[in-house]
Amino acid sequence: MAINQKYSYNGYDPKTQEIIDKKAELDLLFRQRILNRKEYSAAITAMKSGWKRKSLINEPASDFNNTEIVNSTFTQSEPFTDVFPPDMIGVIFRASCNLGNCNVPPGNTVECFNKQYKMQNDGEYWVVDTQLKPIEPLSPKQYDKYGLSKDPKDLPTETMRESVIWEAEINRIKEIRKNKILAIANDPIELDKLINEGGEL
């Protein structure tokens, strides 16, 4: 099965002749001072932007059918978003593709990330069911790291000002500093050094 050159690599494969030529053109415009550094960077970024948050519903299914799409990001802002032509068939999404919040029409194969998720009141993304109810954190290891509950029942009823992960990290740093202060306070020599030499915690 052929790799879909149009929709793979986020539409940006640095090894293809088209991209090599485009990059050379931008480099020349930059050297000739037709493009300033900011414009040059913006043009390179635009070239790499790929298909994130874009709808491809109205593209011809023939552009997709029976091809492999690799290393492309199609992730959408809202869960269960229709992205692809509904009649496309035989497509395999693999490698580092990201199909977050994307609906993939039947008859196609997904071998990469394809979860539906939404921001919750704790300021973090959670995987959701078809009714958009939270099931589990999108990044469960972060919750484990800080000993936070991964039970949807424990989500706050009000939106938190900061992410629960961010708050946990701040509290961790505060605890480290507090322990260091207590250790120095109980060591007269270290305390004297801190006061007289302008040391840092």
Q: 133: which residues sit within 8 A by CB, 6+ positions away?
A: 152
CA gyration radius, the chain: 25
Question: Which letter, b or e, does each residue of 116-134 get, where b requires 16 or more Cβ atoms within 10 Å of its Cβ?
Answer: bbbebebbbbbbbeeeeeb
Q: Which of 75, 68, 21 is nearest to 47 (CA)?
A: 21
Residues 135-191: pLDDT tens digits? Answer: 999 999 999 999 999 999 999 999 999 999 999 999 999 988 888 887 877 877 776
Average pLDDT over residues 16-27: 90
Q: 76: which residues sit within 8 A by CB, 6+ positions away?
A: 53, 83, 100, 101, 102
Residue pair 92/98 in contact (Cβ under 8 Å)? The answer is no
Give the whole-angstrom CA distance, residue 171 versus residue 175: 6
Q: Is the pTM of this model over 0.95?
A: no
DSSP 8-state assignment for residue 33: T
3-state secondary structure (DSSP) of residue 117: strand
Give the whole-angstrom CA distance, residue 34 versus residue 170: 46
Q: 42: which residues sit within 8 A by CB, 6+ positions away?
A: none
Residues 113-142: pLDDT tens digits? Answer: 999 999 999 999 999 999 999 999 999 999
Block residue for tokens 């090599």:
20
| Numbers of helices and strands, H then E, in the chain | 5, 8
Residue pair 77/53 in contact (Cβ under 8 Å)? The answer is yes
Residues 85-109: pLDDT tens digits? Answer: 999 999 999 988 999 999 999 999 9
DSSP 8-state assignment for residue 98: B
Q: Which two tokens stand for residue 51?
A: 């298909």
Q: Phi, psi (5° rounding) for residue 148? A: -90, 150
